Chain A
């Protein structure tokens, strides 16, 4: 193919004016221009990836979380009789007024696949979390800081004394934040201990621990917030929220 073109160029050259040669000519210029276009393309793809991570995953996750949350609420509404704890569909909703993010469905486990649905999960590994219903223990949760619903995005807005309310079918568990750890190693599983010593507590009690990644947009460290149970309120017929949520 190339040989024929060369041949034609040679024979035709004298007759019509030759087509204008591109400046710089030849393979080098083409290579540079292709390289340049590839670099531009790479830049656009990275830009799209940022849009995907920070926006699109939220859209998808919020949609999924709403769906799963509705399912749990429907389940609660239908099921009037006394039922055991159903951990498959989610055990309840977390409300943190200071984070201004509405309600967050809480399910069992902290696998990426699960948390990507825009929910929070309670730890089963490496430390088995206690549940709010338990007499003593630490109810430890994780959720995304950015993307995939970003449910704990505003964790840094939590201050001592802020309310963390956990809603189950029959009870409101009202926790109060008493300590925060703005930066810790991702291997710091002591933060999840039944008695989180790092938070300053030494006696067994009913604690809640929120964990997510920090600084924002990275996963270098972990941000930890500890709370302790203030009181438990029964859910009434209208599901009137406790004072902290009104």
Chain B
């Protein structure tokens, strides 16, 4: 999978490395900004109140 992506990136090794880094950062950004905030309320780690539900 990662080999496939690496082979299909354009340019020489340095450019490939740079693009890879950008891709990784973009992925982390999307995870922190959108995916995790969405997933968090679905997981039972952060309910702090007592209630009768």
Binding site for B on A (CB under 8 A): 33-34, 37-38, 45, 48-49, 52-53, 56-57, 110, 112, 115, 123, 125-126, 142-148, 152, 184-189, 191-192, 211-213, 217-220, 222, 224
Contact = CB atoms under 8 A, between A and B. Distances in A.
Contacts of B12: none
Contacts of A38: 1
Contacts of B39: 49
Task: Tell me what chain A mostly uses at the interface: helix, strand, loop, or mixed.
Answer: mixed
A24 B50 CA distance: 57
Nearest to A125: B51
Interface in B1-22: 1-3
Nearest to B2: A37
26 contacts: A37-B1, A45-B31, A48-B28, A48-B31, A49-B39, A52-B31, A110-B49, A112-B46, A115-B48, A123-B49, A144-B48, A147-B46, A185-B50, A186-B47, A187-B52, A189-B52, A192-B50, A211-B48, A211-B50, A212-B48, A218-B44, A219-B44, A219-B45, A219-B48, A222-B49, A222-B50
A53 B45 contact: yes
Contacts of B1: 33-34, 37-38
Interface string B25-53: 00010011000100111001111111110
Contact of B51 (A48, A144, A186, A212): A186
A147 B40 CA distance: 11
Interface of B: 1-3, 28, 31-32, 36, 39-41, 44-52
Contacts of A146: 45-46
A187 B52 CA distance: 5
B46 to A, nearest CB: 6
Contact of A217 (B28, B32, B45): B45
Contacts of A152: 48
Given A125-B51, A187-B52, A189-B51, A49 B45 contact: no
B31 to A, nearest CB: 6
B50 A189 contact: yes
A186 B32 CA distance: 29
Nearest to A214: B48
Contacts of B32: 48, 52, 56
